[in-house]
Structure 1
């Protein structure tokens, strides 16, 4: 009996590791696509929302929106705890109604040269400052993080002559 219990926890840990690796691989692939097709990414984000947000981390609007995101998630969890819906429908609600646009902004950070849609002057917002801080020609964004993790976990082999 205890063997099956321990085995079930071990299998759960292995499944979580595989899901985490799959998500990381998917994010890496999306970041590569976004760097390659920045104009198409710009159009997709522009159609998902009509303006690219001007984000200042200390502005009252940004702080209030962060608080409201937490409140929205709390209310959604509370609603789905009281009313039964299949898990797939709950996941669809969270994916399309709550997480799609923030996820698009997160993945779009890998695009270079500030080509994504913007309603402010270059250099006035967090995103453009993020892209102009580093040296030109250097990769920035989430791809650097993923490349570092990839090299740390799976170092490339060096040819010995």
Structure 2
């Protein structure tokens, strides 16, 4: 009896490892697609926001959710639309980004408070969190890596150099990359073994 119990825990650990590797590989692939197709990515995220707003409209019409929680969610989606105006360029210090993060945290707090007081099934709670709270922010998080390979645009409001030489500044800043794809490339280079090619 104890052997089979121990075997089930070992199998669970192996399954968690496989799921983690699969999710990492999927995120890496999605991050590469986002970098390659930024215009299509912007359209997909825009449609995700519209679908999420339709879900909120359905919750207003057919469910008895608190108005303050739904209003916070709708305002969060409006903040996501403001972030999308300068896509793929993200400025983490922009008011729209700060507002969207603040509303996301507030909406999580309100949702946890509501779902702890009213009995809903786990699948219904997970559906709310997935479709209303996590879908669009996750898409924006994955698309942060698209910012690494774009040329400076008019979305950059500050002057890049004193003499306004945009191209020189772009190539001097090109080595500094901080995104999801850069993290995965670093993890791939540091964790996976490297094969040395033999030179004859």
TM-score by length of 1: 0.69
- Contact 1:134–1:140 (Cα < 8 Å) also in 2: no
Find the aligned partners of 1:58 and 1:36 in 2 and give their Cα distance: 25
- Contact 1:31–1:143 (Cα < 8 Å) also in 2: yes
What does residue range 17-56 of structure 1 map to in structure 2 within 5 Å?
A: 17-47=17-47, 48=49, 49-52=80-83
Structure 2's unaligned 5+ residue stretches are 50-79, 85-89, 159-169
Residue in structure 2 matched with residue 93 of structure 1 by the alignment:
128
Residue in structure 1 matched with residue 150 of structure 2 by the alignment:
113
TM-score by length of 2: 0.58
What does residue range 3-152 of structure 1 map to in structure 2 within 5 Å?
A: 3-47=3-47, 48=49, 49-52=80-83, 57=93, 62=98, 66=101, 68-81=103-116, 82-87=118-123, 89-111=124-146, 112-113=149-150, 121-123=155-157, 135-136=173-174, 140-152=178-190
Find the aligned partners of 2:30 and 2:176 in 1 and give their Cα distance: 19
State the 1:145 CA deviation.
0.9
SS of match in other structure, 2:197: coil
- Contact 1:110–1:141 (Cα < 8 Å) also in 2: yes
State the 1:140 CA deviation.
5.0
Task: From the two aligned structures, give the one with the greater helix fraction.
Answer: 2
RMSD: 3.5
The answer to which structure, 1 or 2, has the higher relative contact order (CA under 8 A, 6+ apart) is: 1
1:75-128 Cα shifts (integer Å, max 9, x gaps):
4345445423252x333221110011211111111113168xx9x84155xxxx
Change beyond 3 A, Cα 1:134–1:16: farther
- Contact 1:109–1:141 (Cα < 8 Å) also in 2: yes
- The number of aligned residues is 149
